[in-house]
Structure 1
Amino acid sequence: MGTKIINIVLLFFFNAILSAQTEVGNLKKYSLHKCLSSNYKKADPSFVSHDYSASYIFQLKKADYNNLNSIDTFVDKTTGDYYKRGVMENLEDANANYIFWYCMDFYQSKELDSFIKKIAGATGKKSLKK
């Protein structure tokens, strides 16, 4: 009987870890989406994205609205000028940019990781479901 209880506790423990990893991963994906979409829109105001990833994360993955608002503010503050950054090569395209490159660096940053883990833990519950 004791072994069964230990197995059940371990199962719940590992399930909680996987849920937390899923939550952090989805919030990071939302951050990448926000960085890309807002910078492309700033670089070209006529840009229209038909990417509904943000809605998917909010509605189907059950993201906490407060977490998404916090991410919006953080991403705008941290990455809001990526569209302005110059290119490192002498390209003949006057509209050239490295928005994707900078946003991917941001997505992989420890700064974003720390921020996401902080807000995900602050809600006191799992904001996203598998």
Structure 2
Amino acid sequence: MKKTAFYIGIFLFSTNLSFSQKTNKIKELKSFALSVCIQDNYKKLNPEFDSKDYTNSFIVGDIVTISTSNLEKLRYFIYDNTKDFYKPIPSSASYEDNNANMVCYNCIEFYNSKKLRKFIKNLLKEDSDL
């Protein structure tokens, strides 16, 4: 009986650890998406923009392992879903500055989206199937 309880405990611990690691990868890849979104859209606003921010390299180099092809899929997904975030707010809005934008707000909304989370979960599933 004690052996059975021990093995069940080991199984539950390893399952919990695996779930925790996957959850952390999702969180970090969402952070990567947020960083890419902000940097890409500010670069569109000002082509000379150079943030000197190495968040993206840190996340995919030191924290998360993901295949090159899936990283490219993620980058394309980010670009495709955030490519217009730099555009000014429609003139119907009551802002004094005609060049006002909502890059950060829109990128945070994208970061929190179910669509991004689902896409990342599917990428991680693909990577684990390899």
Normalised to the residue count of structure 1, the TM-score between the two structures is 0.88
Q: Deviations over 1:93-120 (max 9, x none)?
A: 3332100011111111111111111111
Give the distance between the partners of 2:98 and 2:125, measured in 1 at CA.
43
* Higher RCO (C-alpha under 8 Å, 6+ residues apart): 1
Change (3 A) 1:96 1:85: closer
Query: How much does 1:123 deviate?
Result: 0.8
Q: Which residue of 2 aligns with 1:105?
A: 109
Query: How much does 1:66 deviate?
Result: 2.9
Give the distance between the partners of 1:12 and 1:95, measured in 2 at CA.
52
Bigger mean CA deviation after superposition, 35-44 or 85-94? 85-94
Q: Cα RMSD over matched residues?
A: 1.6
Give the distance between the partners of 1:40 and 1:63, measured in 2 at CA.
27
Give the distance between the partners of 2:10 and 2:116, measured in 1 at CA.
34
1:46 to 45, 48, 58: 48
Work out whether 1:77 is the aligned partner of 2:77.
no
Query: How much does 1:37 deviate?
Result: 0.6
Aligned partners of 2:33 and 2:111 also within 8 Å = yes
Work out whether 1:93 is the aligned partner of 2:91.
no
Work out whether 1:19 is the aligned partner of 2:18.
no
Give the distance between the partners of 1:22 and 1:85, measured in 2 at CA.
34
Structure 1 letter corresponding to 2:106: Y
- Structure 2 unpaired stretches of 5+: none
- Structure 1 unpaired stretches of 5+: 126-130
**Which has the higher Rg, Structure 1 or Structure 2?**
2
